[in-house]
Amino acid sequence: MAPVLIVVMLFVVGLGRMAHARQQIDAVASDSARAASLERNTSTSAHAAKVAAEASLGDAGVSCTNLDVNVDLDSYQPGGQVRVTVSCVAKLGDVALAGFPGTRKFTAEAVVPIETHRAS
């Protein structure tokens, strides 16, 4: 009976780890989109989004490999929007005994409006 309980506990922990990683990647995407929307031009916006993603991910404590930050600046103008898609491969090897894969790719997208009355 004890092995079954251990596997069930590992499964619950694994689900919790996946939910936490998902929530953190959503927050990273939001932080990146907000950072990009505050910049004054497209080149600094894309850079600011990537820097914010790396900083936010480090603060979240998620072990992530292959971080990919895609910044869509097609409607980058006052009243427009910034769309950021963040992809990350999280390590889940410590809960692999419960049937989870060793890694899982998480993707999140965030859209932030650009202020209509902003100075150039």
Q: pTM of the full predicted structure? A: 0.80
Q: Count structural domains, the chain.
A: 1
Within-domain flag for 101? yes
CA-CA distance, 46 to 52, in Å (whole number)?
10
Within-domain flag for 118? no
In this prediction, residue 32 carries a pLDDT of 92
Is 13 or 50 the better-scoring residue by pLDDT? 50
Within-domain flag for 93? yes
Task: Compute CA distances 44 → 9, 76, 86, whole Å.
Answer: 46, 12, 18
In this prediction, residue 109 carries a pLDDT of 95
Within-domain flag for 120? no
Range of the domain at 65: 2-113
In this prediction, residue 83 carries a pLDDT of 93
CA-CA distance, 45 to 36, in Å (whole number)?
4
Within-domain flag for 58? yes
Residue 53: which CATH number? 3.30.1300
